[in-house]
Structure 1
Amino acid sequence: MKSSKNILLTSILTLSIVTTIFSQDQNDYKMIEKTVSNYINGDTKKDFETLQKAFHKNATMKYVSSKNGYQEYNALEVFKNDKGRAPEKNRKNRIEYISVAGKAANVKIEINYPDRTVVDFVNLLKINNEWKIVSKIFSVKE
């Protein structure tokens, strides 16, 4: 009898812990999706205010240019230069995956244009209970 009570108590405790972890993970995924949506929508619409919600102020953007080689910039400075440009219409965005480990996450985004595909890998950190993009690397497939 005592053994059955211990098993039942252990099972309830385990279920409670798993439920708490699962709900926290689901909440983090939703928060990450919101951050990434702010990035995608802000970039597509050239809406700097929306983009700012997604990126940490010191976030970097890195890529390799066929002309100039390795390039590294402050991401918000790059997007600020796009301010005032017309929104992009022939663009399809897709989140390929979201990977979360504690307070760090990585997201792969595929952006399809009629003549090329851009693949973004964005890294996020949970800072003060908010997910922020802290770095972005990308490559263009033509």
Structure 2
Amino acid sequence: MKRTVVLLLSLSTFIINAQKSDYEMVAQTVNYYLDGGTNNDFETLKKAFHENATMKYITDEGYKEVNALEFFSRMDASKPKQNRQTRIANITVSGHAANARLEIEYPDFSFIDFMNLLKIDGEWKIVNKIFYRKPTMEN
């Protein structure tokens, strides 16, 4: 009887931790992106993305879609650390799918990033990023 109770408690703790660990693993993945970007460190940033991840955004010329890793591969590690503050505003996990809303504040503007992630072979990877560049003065 004592073994059964211990086993049930261990199993329930494992299930609770498994749910929490997906959230933590998503947070770690988006932190690779945030830390890599802040430090101009492409090697850290690329840990966050699936190789076929896309980035979609709007410019003055209209809609753009690019491979995320190709876009970020232009990072220059010799440049100084970015002057910005980053924050994970929200993470939602549903099974093997998740999304995260990130806020990246520079002195003159902010980025609002929406990341879609999938759990692929046990690892959370960003598969799609869309964003909005928000001027500081905008409400």
TM-score normalised by structure 1 residue count = 0.83
- 1:23 is displaced (CA, Å) by 1.6
User: What residue in structure 1 maps to residue 94 of structure 2?
Assistant: 101
Whether the 8 Å contact between 2:40 and 2:82 is mirrored in structure 1 is: no
C-alpha contact 1:108 1:122 (8 A) present in aligned 2 = yes
Matched, 1:23 2:23: no
Aligned counterparts of 1:137 and 1:87: Cα–Cα separation in 2: 26
Sequence identity, in percent?
53
- Aligned pairs for 1:40-55 (under 5 A) are 40-55=34-49
Task: Choose the corresponding residue for 1:37, options 26, 31, 35.
Answer: 31
In the other structure, the counterpart of 1:92 is 85
Conserved? CA contact 1:123–1:136, under 8 Å: yes
Residues 139, 125 of structure 1: alpha-carbon distance in 2 compared, 3 angstrom cutoff: same
- C-alpha RMSD of matched pairs (Å): 2.0
1:52-131 → structure 2 map (5 Å cutoff): 52-65=46-59, 67-84=60-77, 86-131=79-124
Give the unaligned 5+ runs of structure 1.
Answer: 1-12
* CA shift for structure 1 position 17: 7.3
Larger Rg: 1
Deviation digits for residues 29-86 of structure 1, max 9, x if unmatched? 1111111111101111111111111100000000011x21100000000000223462
Are the structure 2 counterparts of residues 54 and 123 from structure 1 closer, same or farther at C-alpha, using a change threshold of 3 Å? Answer: same
Q: What is the alpha-carbon distance in structure 1 between the residues aligned to residue 76 and residue 98 of structure 2?
A: 28
Instruction: Provide the rounded CA distance (Å) in 2 between the counterparts of 1:53 and 1:16.
Output: 32
Cα pair 1:90 1:113 within 8 Å, conserved: yes
SS of residue paired to 1:81: coil
Could you say which structure has the higher helix fraction? 1
Q: TM-score, normalised by structure 2?
A: 0.85
2:4 equivalent in structure 1 = none
- Distance in 2 (CA, whole Å) between partners of 1:83 and 1:58 is 22
Q: Which runs of 5+ in 2 are unaligned?
A: 1-7
Contact 2:37 2:82 in 1 (8 A): no
Question: How many residues are aligned here?
Answer: 130
